[in-house]
Copies of this chain bind each other. A is one copy, B any other.
Amino acid sequence: MAKITGNLASKVGLPPGTLLHVGDMRADKAHIRVIHYNEDSLAEYDDVNIASLAQLTAEPGVTWIQVRGLTAQSVEGIGRQFAIHPLVLEDILHTNQRPKFSDYGDYLAVILKSLVVTAGTIDYNSEQVSLILGPNYVISFLESLPEDNDVLHNVYERVKSRRGKIARLGADYLLYALVDSLVDHYFLALEHLGEKIETLEEQIAARPRPELLGELHALKQDMLFMRKSVWPVRELVSALERGESALIQETTLIYLRDIYDHIVQVIETVEIYRDMLSGMLDIYLSSVSNRMSEVMKMLTIISTIFIPLTFIAGVYGMNFDYMPELRWQYGYPLILAVMLIMSLLMLRYFQKRKWL
């Protein structure tokens, strides 16, 4: 459960805006790479010093500052360079942050989670991606260092290869491309869950076992987390796309609306999956109760046939001195015949009541 609330409690009592890394520490130093590009040229600077960042953004073109590895020191340094509000810096460092968008006029802050599927499980808290959009720059903060697998890598590739319109358009389009790339990963996670649900549905239909119930509940919880992860992204994109910030141009709004549609599709699919899982639980429970009812019928049929027969056998096993039937020559076959007829009548009755 700790993964839901994070360890926010550790911050209780500190003044707000205190820069303290909250969450799992994934790196002990920050690595900064800067890509500066416009329609004509592209320059890449590695291991950039924080002090020289302001100078780089002064030149015309788009500057993408990639920060990998969160340390209080580097986040604070960059914050000072770009005059970013302490609360934003705090949010960047709190890696258990709820996805969030805030408009500070001069810059926008977007904080998101990447949903990564690793070895068949979805890590709903995998990595917090914080993006700052200024007039001509985007700063992206990742928790992990470059050697780790990078959710923003394909955008980096597109910028470098100068494919598509990304090189021609401004910093707002770069922000869009980064958010879009993260949202695309939600589809991957959803497809992964969809496949699991499909497999489970077939297994339950084939033979309901108690173990499957555990899987079903695990998937239900996955849906809870998925919904919790996606809803704030919807609000976030909706706020971005409402187009109230001067930092985002009209032409980019159309693209943001497209992300919004994707998020709505993800949410609707999550809701459908939830309904399907509920339906599967119903199927599971009623097939369990069907089997139970079968077992009970078996018991009832056997008992109902043999208990009266055993009683009759018991009667003729009594040791009374005067029991005339016991002396009849055909007493034994007669009583066997009576027993046979009784059981046949019983079976007939069961058949009529559709128990067989």
Interface flag for A81 (CB, 8 Å): no
Interface flag for A194 (CB, 8 Å): yes
Residue of B with least CB distance to A180: B16
Task: Determine how close the nearest CB of chain B comes to the CB of A81; give it in whole angstroms.
Answer: 20
Interface flag for A163 (CB, 8 Å): yes
Residue of B with least CB distance to A287: B210
B177 touches A15 (CB 8 A): yes
- CA separation between A311 and B191, bound complex, in Å? 58
Stretch at the interface among A40-48, A131-139, A329-337: A329-337
By a CB distance below 8 angstroms, the chain B residues around A29 are none
Interface flag for A26 (CB, 8 Å): no
The binding surface of chain A is classed by DSSP as helix
Stretch at the interface among A64-72, A141-149, A288-296: A288-296
Binding site for B on A (CB under 8 A): 1-2, 4-5, 7-9, 11-13, 15-18, 85, 87, 98, 100, 102, 104, 154, 158, 163-166, 177, 180-181, 184-185, 187-188, 190-191, 194-195, 197-198, 205, 207, 210, 213-214, 217, 220-221, 224-225, 228, 231, 254-255, 257-258, 261, 264-265, 268-269, 272-273, 275-276, 279, 281-300, 302-304, 306-311, 313-323, 325-332, 335-336, 353-355
By a CB distance below 8 angstroms, the chain B residues around A187 are 5, 8-9, 12
B321 touches A326 (CB 8 A): yes
- CA separation between A64 and B310, bound complex, in Å? 86
B5 touches A190 (CB 8 A): yes
A279 interface neighbour in B190, B221, B269, B282, Cβ under 8 Å: B221
- CA separation between A210 and B286, bound complex, in Å? 9
Task: Determine how close the nearest CB of chain B comes to the CB of A239; give it in whole angstroms.
Answer: 12
Task: Determine how close the nearest CB of chain B comes to the CB of A204; give it in whole angstroms.
Answer: 11
Between A285, A300, A320, the greatest number of chain B beta carbons within 10 A of the residue's beta carbon is seen for A320
